[in-house]
Structure 1
Amino acid sequence: MSEPAGRVPGVPQPATDVGFAQRVKALACTAPLHDLDSRKTQVQTADFSVYQMSELALNAIDLVTLAMDFDAGAPPEKVITDLAVFAGRQAPDRSDAEHVRVARWILENLLNVGSLDRGFRAVYGMTTGDGSYSRYEFDFKLLEEVPAADGSIFLRATNEAVNVLVGALELDIESAQIAADLRLETLIRRGRLSDAQAAAQAARYRTIQYGEKLRQRLEATERDVRTVDWLTEMPEFIAEAVEHIAARYKAENAILVNITEVRDTADTAPRKLQAAQLVEVVRDCLRRHEQLQAALQGAGRRFRAQQDRQTFAPGSAVAALDLHAQLLVPVLTLAVTDADEALNAYFARSTGVNVPPAVRLLDLFTALVTPPPERELLGGELDEPEIDEVPDEPPFPAECYDLLDDLLDLDVDAPRRLSGLLEEARTLHPDLPGLVVVRVVALAAQEINPALRHKQPTVFIAVDDGTTLDDPEFGGADLIVARAAIEPVPAGDHAGVAMSVSEGVPV
């Protein structure tokens, strides 16, 4: 039998595998944690190389997840304080202030502070059955900042973050919870309490995910009841959740009896401590089941209240105003004084903090309250851009850099003025003065901390003593360019380091 068109003889062609995509996405969720370890040496204001950042990031996600309730989250400062304790265990010789800085740095990176949407993006590809290769974008978040009722901010862990803790992605919560309970019960029966504690913690994470799924659907209902199927999907979901709680109560109470017996009959202190910790974990699971049950019981009431509010809310009265015919054309026929009065009256009433219903505001309101569409399972397909390869031209000729190194090869006791450097540079190369200015301006903004951290004996500096630069091409200050020696100060003297150059040069 001949090979189908597009196939390579003897080479199997994989079909589109959703399981493979889930494994790739699970790997992508851990990338921000590994990235912390790769970037910790790039922090210029401190030396974070002694910390295991990925481990601390896992601790941060764990702290936020366990502090989450159905309607609340984790206070950021409390998370930073608790995370600083873990950082202190990794580097006990460092100061408490540095431990707090490390904790705050990790939390800001997990929130992806500085990005536009506070999210992460991963690009992955899959080979389809016809042998083609398609790329997709996977957008996700690990921690989110959510406003509280009192105006403060608390943190919540996303479903992707919880999956990082349990090592899975997009698994069925119900089946995973049943498997975790069976495994936990078996481990306890066999007396393997260390493994049982890990299984109990994984079961608790699954319980948290179940509550998060219900909370997200209720929040979507409060925004717009039409986005959630309350005719078929939600009644089935609530029925399954109630059945889930009943089964978990039965299983976890039986597990709690077994653990309590192990705790009370343990003959060693470590074993008794492990059993006691297991008791606390299972009791926390039961407490979360009570919260979930209360939320399920009130779900129908919240839906009916939101339905009444959104159905019988007074409609917006949209003014049928034609800006062109009723405002612009008449104003153009008026004198400037009269037109200014009319325009001021219109804009005073159509703009401001409290904007009344105006032209086409209904369209803007509809666009704002419409929830975003559900994400595709594989993510959006990424189009390959067609980019022409254009060789980068260096801003300065290569020989200018060699000349610059020779020109700035200064002794510690021989500082020079910028004006003198520019004058000498013009005799060497016509493009060299511009490169000298760029380099000297960079020296003026240079920090001393990197040189101290790398134990450099000297550092270039550029100092402004108030002298004006007299140059035909460039203006500004006539900086003093010097090489300063870094000299450690003895412990008995003032703390820090001293920099020395020749006499008469202000530093």
Structure 2
Amino acid sequence: MRKQIAPDHQQGFAFPSGDRREAAANNVDNAPGPAAGEPVSEGWTADLTRRLRVLLHTLPLDALRRSDAMRDAELRHYDSLALALRVLDVVIDRLGLEAEADREAVTRVLRPVLSAMDAAADVAPSPERHERMIDKLLGGLRNDGDARRPFREEYTSVNGAGAALRHALEFRLVFDAFHPSGRTVLRPSAEACNLYLRLLDLDVEDAQAAAEAVVESQLARGRFEEAVHSARQARIQSVRFRDKVLQILRDTRRDVDRVDWKVEVPRILNESLAHLERRFAVERGILGAADERLEIMPDEEASSRRAVAQVADLTRDCLLRHTELHEQLLGAHNVFLDAQARQAFAPKPSRPLPHLADDVLEPLLRMPIARAVQLLDRAFPLFVGTHLPVLASLEGLVTWMLQPRRPQPRQDIDVEPVDAADLDAELRRYPPEVRAAATDFLNGDGGEVRLSEVLSRARASGASNAVLEVMALLVLQGFSTEDRDTAHVAAEPIAGAQLEDPLLYGDDLLVSAARRSA
């Protein structure tokens, strides 16, 4: 039995999972409370309570570290804290992407680290031992020892009357979630993201604004590699902010009475719209600064150019997410009205609807098999409902056969055409030596030659795939542009000829040196 301890005052709206208990925990650091530095009682301030909750989030990682000495002898040379940080790194870095991290991805990333720890301890690597260590590591991060419930840590604060109060803080670090592709993936909680990004004392909006301000400052000071890291953090905060808003809309569609659309949600939506307007201005400024840097940076600084281009790509991804979210926010009130109209005449349950995963599935899985089968035998007819036997009907068959043909869904996807004449931005991503090598191969013969032959000679000479890609881009640019004075090569089509190359495909072209005007 757990002691009854007063929970922290929370507001549960938007979080990475639909867990109601996690909803109360995930927003604990964003819960409204006394202003920073305001004394709650003599000798105790609200800042102390916030910092105490921040420290509590590190206790599961500390427990993992202390368990190293109590583990089996063959696993004691592994550093659980370092491995846990690497897991958070890969899970958070892939958050919101198509290839989110699952068990297989974590195993693939951790194997080199585990092998390095084996070599340092003079132990032969063992895949079976690595799997056991990863199981223990993920179990500690997901709280498998407590049926994957949220971590629960107790602490004491002092109120305005000078009385000491006990509180319980519940939070998660990593949890399993279903991916739209059908896979089960690992996702970090809001606390894990903040803990990893060293922003536990900030809410999502402040954390994102801080990360983008750091990107602007680092670009202005020429610290490009660090700006890439900060831009990745800004993208992670962008994903978290989007999930926070979309969770409100999902909860509204499920049960409008469980979301406060009278006071709280309108305030959150208005603040979110204002936050997006500020983010649009800042992100467009970052993109403009990155483009200016790329224009003035010399070609010799290849690594710096790549870093600035990565910052621009990450910022552009954030801008796209915010544009899509802005459309969702503008239609949020319609979501509420539609949900209210749909649910207005629905019978109200006598008690709140259970959460299927936490209140139904997990207790059922923990039951003995005999007890679970007994409950399922009683509940299954209620879930399925009654079905009348189907009787054959000649009239129904004829009506079905005479109905008009259903329109076939479109199978083609509109592809936005690319102006091949404007490929300077793509070419700048490659180092100067790669572009120079590609130009030498294209201008080597001086006469007219097929593109497939030029690519074959370059590959036989040991040219890398990057050089072949630049050659193809230069030929496409020469084929599309009308200004022969700026083209590196000239290219003409060959009727019915197909490009024969293992890397590239399309129509073959006749390539020659650009005919520049005097």
For 1:161, the equivalent position in structure 2 comes to: 192
Cα distance, 1:141 vs. partner? 0.8
- Under a length normalisation based on structure 1, what TM-score does the superposition of the two structures give? 0.53
The residue type paired with residue 124 of structure 1 is Y
For 1:61, the equivalent position in structure 2 comes to: 88
How many Å separate the matches in 2 of 1:242 and 1:94? 53
SS at structure 1 position matched to 2:346: coil
Over 3 Å counting, the alpha-carbon distance change for 1:246 and 1:307 in structure 2 is: same
The residue type paired with residue 30 of structure 1 is T
Verify the 8 A CA contact 1:87 1:103 in the aligned structure 2.
Answer: no
The residue type paired with residue 313 of structure 1 is A
- Under a length normalisation based on structure 2, what TM-score does the superposition of the two structures give? 0.52
Do structure 1's residue 201 and structure 2's residue 232 form an aligned pair? yes
Do structure 1's residue 187 and structure 2's residue 215 form an aligned pair? no
Q: Per-residue displacement from partner, 1:71-92 (whole Å, max 9, x unpaired)? A: 9964343333334455455556
SS at structure 2 position matched to 1:41: helix
Cα distance, 1:261 vs. partner? 4.2
Verify the 8 A CA contact 1:184 1:200 in the aligned structure 2.
Answer: yes
How many Å separate the matches in 2 of 1:21 and 1:131? 14
Verify the 8 A CA contact 1:127 1:134 in the aligned structure 2.
Answer: yes
The residue type paired with residue 77 of structure 1 is E
For 2:255, the equivalent position in structure 1 comes to: 224
Match of 1:173 among 204, 212, 215: 204
For 1:105, the equivalent position in structure 2 comes to: 136
Q: Per-residue displacement from partner, 1:8-38 (whole Å, max 9, x unpaired)? A: xxxxx74542221121111111221222222
Q: Identity over the aligned pairs, expressed in percent? A: 30
For 2:322, the equivalent position in structure 1 comes to: 289
Cα distance, 1:111 vs. partner? 0.7
SS at structure 2 position matched to 1:288: helix
How many Å separate the matches in 2 of 1:151 and 1:269? 40
The residue type paired with residue 205 of structure 2 is E
Cα distance, 1:242 vs. partner? 2.9
How many Å separate the matches in 1 of 2:266 and 2:250? 16
Cα distance, 1:255 vs. partner? 1.1
For 1:32, the equivalent position in structure 2 comes to: 60
Over 3 Å counting, the alpha-carbon distance change for 1:349 and 1:57 in structure 2 is: closer
How many Å separate the matches in 2 of 1:16 and 1:259? 46
Do structure 1's residue 47 and structure 2's residue 66 form an aligned pair? no
For 1:75, the equivalent position in structure 2 comes to: 102
Verify the 8 A CA contact 1:225 1:306 in the aligned structure 2.
Answer: yes
Do structure 1's residue 353 and structure 2's residue 391 form an aligned pair? no
Do structure 1's residue 121 and structure 2's residue 152 form an aligned pair? yes
Aligned residues: 317
Cα distance, 1:257 vs. partner? 3.1
The residue type paired with residue 355 of structure 1 is L
Verify the 8 A CA contact 1:81 1:100 in the aligned structure 2.
Answer: no
How many Å separate the matches in 1 of 2:111 and 2:342? 45
Alignment of 1:313-352 (within 5 A): 313=346, 351-352=378-379
Cα distance, 1:234 vs. partner? 2.5
For 2:343, the equivalent position in structure 1 comes to: 310
For 1:278, the equivalent position in structure 2 comes to: 311
Q: Per-residue displacement from partner, 1:168-218 (whole Å, max 9, x unpaired)? A: 335243344333323321221111234433432332333233123213322
Over 3 Å counting, the alpha-carbon distance change for 1:224 and 1:194 in structure 2 is: same
Do structure 1's residue 238 and structure 2's residue 269 form an aligned pair? yes
For 2:332, the equivalent position in structure 1 comes to: 299
Q: Could you tell me which runs of 5 or more consecutive residues in structure 2 were left unpaired when the two chains were aligned.
A: 1-40, 351-373, 385-518
Q: Could you tell me which runs of 5 or more consecutive residues in structure 1 were left unpaired when the two chains were aligned.
A: 1-12, 318-346, 358-507
Cα distance, 1:64 vs. partner? 2.4
Verify the 8 A CA contact 1:120 1:140 in the aligned structure 2.
Answer: yes
Cα distance, 1:151 vs. partner? 5.9
Rg larger in structure: 1
How many Å separate the matches in 2 of 1:105 and 1:225? 40
Verify the 8 A CA contact 2:69 2:76 in the aligned structure 1.
Answer: yes
